[in-house]
């Protein structure tokens, strides 16, 4: 079993500051900025209506979360983000031939074992039939 682990090492106070900065950038990039955009779009269209309330940044973030989670729920897993490494598969014919050879050897071994068990069962049946014939005579 091949397990690959990604380890993040944080050393000292500068590392903590850098980690906080990275988390802050992710939050602002994926949450606050789209919320700010949603707030301004809402407030722009609310200006065309008499009784429409205006939004603050918190309400824009909540609207963005509603929109993002609705899109995620509607897509039913078609839209996915995954993190990790994937090994590239190159068409190595020698490796493919080796795998097929191992598969064929494994199948041949299983067939020979099954044939041996079948032959043993036939011998036992033949011996049992001979014993039954002796008893009947």
Quick: pLDDT tens for 27-39.
999 999 999 999 9
Do 58 and 102 share a domain, yes or no? Answer: no
Do 89 and 67 share a domain, yes or no? Answer: no
Over the stretch 101-122, which tens digit does the pLDDT of each residue have? 888 888 888 888 878 777 777 7
104 within domain boundaries: yes
Q: Which residues span the domain enclosing 93?
A: 85-137
Do 21 and 66 share a domain, yes or no? Answer: yes
Q: Which residues contact 45 (CB under 8 A, 6 or more apart)?
A: 52
Do 51 and 90 share a domain, yes or no? Answer: no
- Reported as a pLDDT band with limits 50, 70 and 90, residue 98 is confident
4 within domain boundaries: no
More confident site: 125 or 49: 49
Do 96 and 114 share a domain, yes or no? Answer: yes
7 within domain boundaries: no
Over the stretch 50-93, which tens digit does the pLDDT of each residue have? 888 999 999 999 999 999 888 888 877 665 666 666 555 556 77
3 within domain boundaries: no
Single pTM value for the model: 0.49
Give the number of domains in the chain: 2
């Amino acid at each position: 079993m091949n397990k690959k682990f990604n380890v993040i090492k944080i050393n000292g106070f500068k590392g903590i500051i850098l980690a906080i900065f990275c988390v802050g950038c992710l939050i602002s990039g994926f949450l606050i900025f789209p919320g700010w955009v949603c707030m301004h779009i809402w407030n722009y269209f609310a200006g065309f209506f008499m009784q429409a309330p205006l939004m603050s940044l918190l309400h824009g973030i909540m609207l963005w979360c509603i929109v993002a989670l609705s899109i995620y729920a509607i897509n039913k897993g078609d839209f996915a983000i995954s993190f990790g490494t994937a090994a590239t598969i190159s068409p190595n014919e020698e490796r493919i031939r080796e795998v097929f050879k191992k598969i064929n050897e494994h199948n041949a071994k299983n067939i020979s074992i099954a044939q041996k068990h079948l032959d043993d069962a036939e011998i036992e049946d033949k011996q049992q039939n001979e014993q039954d014939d002796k008893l009947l005579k």
